[in-house]
Amino acid sequence: MTALLEVEDLRVAYGKIEAVKGISFSVEAGQVVALIGTNGAGKTTTLRTLSGLIKPTSGKITFDGQSLSSIPAHKVVSLGLAHSPEGRHIFPRLSIEENLQLGAFLRKDKDGIEQDIQKAYDLFPILGERRKQAAGTLSGGEQQMLAMGRALMSRPKLLMLDEPSMGLSPIMMQKIMETIATLKSEGMTILLIEQNAQAALSLADYGYVLEVGTMKLSGTGRDLLVNDDVRKTYLGEE
Ligand SMILES: Nc1ncnc2c1ncn2[C@@H]1O[C@H](COP(=O)(O)OP(=O)(O)OP(=O)(O)O)[C@@H](O)[C@H]1O
Ligand SMILES: [Mg+2]
The string of pLDDT tens digits covering residues 8-41 is 999 999 999 999 999 999 999 999 999 999 889 9
Q: How far apart are CA 209 and CA 192, in angstroms?
A: 12
Confidence of residue 51 (pLDDT cuts 50, 70, 90): very high
Q: How far apart are CA 127 and CA 149, in angstroms?
A: 9
Atom of ligand 1 nearest to the CA of 210: 21
In 3D, which of 40, 39, 68 has the Cα closest to residue 55? 68
Q: What's residue 85's pLDDT?
A: 87
Ligand 2 centroid – CA 42 distance (Å) = 7
Q: How far apart are CA 202 and CA 141, in angstroms?
A: 21
Ligand in nearest proximity to the CA of 38: 1
Ligand in nearest proximity to the CA of 35: 1
Q: What's residue 162's pLDDT?
A: 94
Mean pLDDT, to the nearest integer, of 101-110? 92
Ligand 2 centroid – CA 212 distance (Å) = 12
In this prediction, what percent of the chain has a pLDDT beyond 90? Answer: 75
Mean pLDDT, the chain, whole residue set: 92
Atom of ligand 1 nearest to the CA of 46: 18
pLDDT score of 236 more than 70: yes
Q: In 62-88, which positions are buried (b, 16+ CB within 10 angstroms) versus exposed (e)?
A: bbbeeebeebeeeebbeebbbbbbbeb
The reply to whether ligand 1 has any atom less than 6 angstroms from the CB of 16 is: no
The reply to whether ligand 1 has any atom less than 6 angstroms from the CB of 52 is: no
Confidence of residue 238 (pLDDT cuts 50, 70, 90): low
The reply to whether ligand 1 has any atom less than 6 angstroms from the CB of 184 is: no
| Domain 3-87+155-233, CATH homologous superfamily name and number | P-loop containing nucleotide triphosphate hydrolases (3.40.50.300)
Indicate the top mutation candidate among 44, 57, 89, 163 to test ligand 1's pocket, ranked by most ligand atoms within 8 A of CB.
44
Atom of ligand 1 nearest to the CA of 17: 5
DSSP state of 135: G
Q: For residue range 113-170, what is the model confidence (pLDDT) as tens digits?
A: 999 999 999 999 999 999 999 999 998 888 989 999 999 999 999 999 999 988 788 8
Q: What's residue 140's pLDDT?
A: 85
Q: What's residue 1's pLDDT?
A: 61
Ligand 2 centroid – CA 107 distance (Å) = 29
Q: What's residue 47's pLDDT?
A: 96
Indicate the top mutation candidate among 11, 45, 193, 212 to test ligand 1's pocket, ranked by most ligand atoms within 8 A of CB.
45
Q: How far apart are CA 158 and CA 155, in angstroms?
A: 9
- 213 vs 71 pLDDT, higher one: 213
Indicate the top mutation candidate among 38, 43, 89 to test ligand 1's pocket, ranked by most ligand atoms within 8 A of CB.
43
